[in-house]
Chain A
Amino acid sequence: MKKHVLTRLGRFLRPYGLPFLLLLVLLMAGNLLSLAAPLLSGRAMDAVGIRAGGVDFPGVFRNCAGMLGCYALSSLLNYVVSSRLIRTAQAVSHDLRKAAFDHMSELPVDYFDTHPAGDLISRVCYDVDTVNATLSTDLLQLGTSVFTVAGSFLMLLILSPRLTLVFLVTVPLSAALTRFQMKRIHPLFRLRSKELGALNGFAEERMGCRRSIRTYGVEEADLRLFDARNGAASQAYYDADRASAALGPSVNFINNISLTAVSVFGALLYLGGGLSLGSLSSFVLYSRKFSGPIREAANLLAELQASAAAAERVLDLLDEEPEAADPPEALLVKHLEGDIRFDRVTFGYDPARPVLRNFTAHIPAGSLAAVVGPTGAGKTTLVSLLLRFYRPQSGTITVDGIPLDTYSRDGLRRRLALVLQDTWLFGGTIAENIAYGAPGARREQIVEAAKAARIHRFISSLPQGYDTVLTGEVVSKGQKQLLAIARCLLTDADVVILDEATSNVDTETEGEISLAMEQLRQGRTCFVIAHRLATIRGADLILVLDQGGAAESGTHRELLAAGGVYAQLYAAQFQP
């Protein structure tokens, strides 16, 4: 059983406890002022009197001025409270969003393989926003209501404890009824948030493959799928609304019943001589004061439910297991020699189907190692293991003789520079993208790197040059790879990993940047995955992966002579 949502949300609310409390006090002050005004208006009326020509104008003016002052002050206080409350609620929302994102960035990579981005967006935007609405406006209303109800109830108790017994029945009754309904409704609100997340997940995914949808002309089929999810999300939304529609009115209903009971019993009491007429009418008057605020508060219940469900989804994200934190004794290195050793490593994304089986290899420091093999042989998996995205099921990987797990995770990653198969650019400027791994790089350095990666000319041709913000289709995949190489050139890493880094770059450009790559490799261990065997020929060590293990290894010459898998792969390149 999970803890209550309020307890879990507590750590986000606590820092703002004092401001909340202060605002509550101000709120009460404002309410008191607005209660004082009617008193003054009564006096003003006394000053008016009942006779024509007998109006005490100075008295009227004085009291009217007082009223005006009360109202003005109360409105001012009201404004201060609600605008401050909005700020406080926004502060909480910001904290929530930030915590959610911070936590997201700590989650292991496979979390993102199984959780749609759209759902994450939904949690961070929609769900947080729902919580925000409750904090910024509902609380204000709730505060006012509670204040009024409590005050009136106190008056009732003083007037006639016996009649108050009526509330002893109706208040617990409405509490029980509310509780009963909330229990039933809560899962519906959870479902609502979840379905909305699923819809967003779908939309986000489909927005990403618009070109295919258009080319294959499957807009209608796609729309039908969207319809189904949209229908489910809308239905879930409505179901929650429908079930909670009774929440407010039923509380109100019991309140009205108690009003009826009070009048009838009050009348009976009076007739039985147990109550004076004056007390009865005051009692009824105060009971009536109840109904307004109670109605307003009851109508909030559904929204509180929606917020609770939304908050839970954000908090659930925060409860996801992050990548194991570095142990305190984790090794933080400034420099790696780059001696990499895989020792009988077995790994499978699904342990039942290992991609690597007892893989063993040694890449000496400063050498250029190339990994070749058919697609799906586990080349990229090697890189993922080296980057500690996953842990091998058995066997060890060491760098400079020290097991990978001993290093600080980010510390290790910072010593590795890499260009991955799927390059990634964020929606910042080109300069920011190139300097991504090297914050603080100067513009000249960025331009230098871009020139070395043969992407400078393209960048210069753009209207805003290096300050062009990357969106849409302006940059081709080959250009992205060149940008990633420029990015890599700017880092000071000790091990360079190139996973099909130039697969979409033409041979000539590839030839042109080979000098830069040469420089990049200088004094560093280099780990290259490539299909174009021309780029591999010069490697100190070629690892041929096949069927989950190193089928062969050696230099180009040795492997050709051996006439194995490599020789076949090499020959295929030149066959039509």
Chain B
Amino acid sequence: MKTILGYLRPHAPRVAVGVTVKFTAAVLELLLPLLLAHIIDGCVPAQDLPGVFQAGGLMLAMAFGAAFCNITANRMAAWVSMDMTRQLRRDLYERTLLLSQAQLDRFTVSSIVSRLTNDTYNVHQMFDKIQRGGIRAPMLVLGGLTLTFFQAPPLALVQLAVCSATFFAIWLVTRQGIPRYTRAQESVDTMVRILRENAAGVRVVKALACQERERDRFAAASRASREAEEAAGGIMAAANPLSDFLLNLGLVLVVLAGALLVDRGRLASGQIVAFLSYFALIQTATLGLAKLFVKYSKGVASARRIEEVLLAPEDQKVRPVGGGSLPGPELGMENASFSYLGVEKDLDGASFLLKKGQSLGILGPTGAGKTTLVSLLLRLYDADGGVVWVGGRDVATLGREALRGRFGAVFQNEALLNDSVYENISFLRDLSREAVTAAARTAQAWEFIEKLPGGLDARLDIRGANLSGGQRQRLLIARALAARPGILILDSADSALDYRTAAALHAAVRRDFPGVTLVVISERVASLREADRILVLEEGRLTAQGTHEELLETCGRYRRMAELQMGGLK
């Protein structure tokens, strides 16, 4: 909670003013009945007509003042909670941008989306409701308590004890409620996940005619959410009746204590009556408090979930550069190992070196660790052991800044944006239209972009759904090329391309990017054969490396692959 409360600090003066204004409004509204009493008990019996009008006018002015103050205070509260939430949501989003891939995997994207949306909303509600409704009721209770202290201290002591018990009871209830709301929010994560899966996988779900199963799955998630909310709500529903009962119990105790004191002659019974009527008035103010407790516990539960992300430690430290070490290879690994789950090694002792401007091909069966290798080069993950070299330096000494702009990379399963073709290629880098066009040409994408209505400005559907698989892939390749990176990584970038287009693509990359250091992962030997060095990966291990010709000689697997694909022609 501390971190979230920190967002209140810059607004402290505003909150203070807002609370004061709200306080003024409450005071004005409390004074109104006093004037009323003055008219009835003072002016009327005295037949004081001008007095009636005077008091009436004053009442009118106060009513106006109260309305004005309330509106102002509400607006100020709304502004403060809006601005705090805006800042909080921004910081949360910024933090998620800096999360490492491993952290992102752990939190899951669905949960992050849910925290960004639902949890920030809950925190917003909490701040707003407490500012608006959290002033009047406590103020009345505390104020009432103070006033009654002057009237009848012993009775006030009784009520003070009961009030403390009430606060304690509320604290207990809220404490029980918060973990239950945390669970409720977690169940929202599940719903978010299913919704995302169904939006992205709608074609498969429909093709398999499995809508019914998906509905059941969602219904189960929704039911779980309902149950979690009911459990939390069931606890929180006790807050109001419980505090109500305790305060009322106080009144009964006041009567009893009062009776004792009157009996001993230490108190006039009129004081008890005054005390009771005062407190009954105060109690009506607590009517809306129940909702406040709900918003509060829900808000705290959500705030903690947000803090979890905000306070996630930086797990990819940038190591200082060791002095005097010679520059390493442009790209390479030395005995690098990595495991996603910490059980089996997904990459096991990989070593290879690549000079600037050379090209690397990676071949291997499905799940051999090709993408893992590339992820380590990009520092999406940090190697568990060994060294990864990029641009002559240990990648562990390169921070985000240092890595920026070095790479162009095409990933598998990457989605296009619901934006223009230009923006999909330029990808937030504000590249010139010429650069984007040139990249599109190299990527063999220009021919179809040209034909789209609007060309570069044509708008893509979500995930680029209005393009074919091969067209989407070529846009991603153009994106990788557009900023003319020093190192280009194509991870199965030609899997959806026909052979002619793929061949044209590889030729164009060689032609237009002569000095680029190239890493190509492909299932197609044809796409790799030109590489200066080809790695053959099997179950996380580098089993062979060399040129196409060398591997044909030395590596049985490679030769088999080549023969299978080339139809035994070579």
Contact = CB atoms under 8 A, between A and B. Distances in A.
Contact of B200 (A60, A117, A238): A117
Interface stretch (B7-15, B386-394, B413-421): B413-421
B278 interface: no
Contacts of B429: 216, 218, 221
A509 B63 contact: no
A264 B56 contact: yes
A215 B89 CA distance: 23
A330 to B, nearest CB: 13
A68 B252 contact: yes
B359 interface: no
Interface stretch (A106-114, A336-344, A358-366): A106-114
A128 B96 CA distance: 26
B396 interface: no
Given A55-B263, A277-B44, A508 B561 contact: yes
Interface string B75-90: 1001100110110011
B306 interface: no
Interface string A219-257: 101110111001100110110011001101110110011
B45 to A, nearest CB: 7
Given A71-B248, A217-B403, A205 B109 contact: no
A360 to B, nearest CB: 21
A354 interface: no
A209 B417 contact: yes
Interface in A535-576: 568-569, 572-576
B318 interface: no
A155 interface: no
B198 A48 contact: no
B201 interface: yes
Contact of B469 (A53, A208, A410, A500): A500
A427 B412 contact: no
A204 B108 CA distance: 12
B63 A424 contact: no
Contacts of A105: 198, 205, 211, 214-215
B564 A64 contact: no
B contact patch SS: helix
Interface stretch (A38-46, A391-399, A441-449, A518-526): A38-46
A376 B63 contact: no
A424 B60 contact: no
A572 B499 contact: yes
A204 B339 CA distance: 28
A208 B411 CA distance: 12
B294 interface: yes
- Best-surrounded residue of B96, B195, B270, B466 (most CB of chain A within 10 A): B195
Given A98-B219, A482-B366, A511-B564, A474 B341 contact: yes
Interface residues of A, number: 194
B438 to A, nearest CB: 17
B368 to A, nearest CB: 8
A376 B495 contact: no
Given A78-B244, A94-B226, A216-B429, A380 B468 contact: yes
Given A117-B200, A245-B78, A253-B67, A473 B101 contact: yes
A506 interface: yes
Contacts of B378: 211, 214-215
B255 A41 contact: yes
A37 B56 contact: no
A171 B427 CA distance: 58
Interface string A419-430: 011111011000
A576 B496 contact: no
Contacts of B210: 436-437
Given A113-B462, A237-B82, A509-B366, A64 B501 contact: no
Contacts of A52: 262-266
Contacts of A238: 78-79, 82
B167 interface: no
Given A267-B43, A280-B40, A534-B565, A504 B366 contact: yes
B17 interface: no
Interface stretch (A3-11, A19-27, A79-87, A161-169): A79-87
Given A141-B288, A264-B53, A410 B264 contact: no
A286 interface: no
B10 to A, nearest CB: 15
Contacts of A219: 94, 97-98, 400
A200 interface: yes
Contact of A45 (B40, B196, B273): B273
A476 B503 contact: no
Given A121-B113, A260-B63, A114 B415 contact: no
A132 B415 CA distance: 34
Given A203-B113, A249-B66, A263-B59, A71 B498 contact: no
A120 B498 contact: no
B432 interface: no
A216 B269 contact: no
A304 interface: no
- Best-surrounded residue of B39, B86, B133, B199 (most CB of chain A within 10 A): B199
A511 B226 CA distance: 49
A436 B225 CA distance: 24
- Best-surrounded residue of B53, B68, B256, B453 (most CB of chain A within 10 A): B256
A223 B40 contact: no
A421 B497 CA distance: 12
B526 A576 contact: yes
B479 interface: yes
Interface stretch (B235-243, B319-327, B511-519): B235-243
A401 interface: no
Contact of A230 (B86, B238, B465, B524): B86
A418 interface: yes
Interface stretch (B144-152, B185-193, B347-355): B185-193
Contact of B45 (A75, A277, A389): A277
Contact of A505 (B124, B366, B404, B496): B366
A572 B505 CA distance: 12
A18 interface: no
A462 interface: yes
6 contacts: A74-B244, A79-B237, A215-B380, A375-B498, A476-B370, A534-B564
Q: Which 6 A-B pairs have the closest CB atoms?
A: A375-B470, A217-B404, A52-B265, A472-B105, A478-B366, A256-B63
Given A71-B245, A241-B82, 8 more contacts: A49-B262, A60-B255, A78-B240, A129-B118, A216-B483, A242-B79, A268-B52, A504-B366
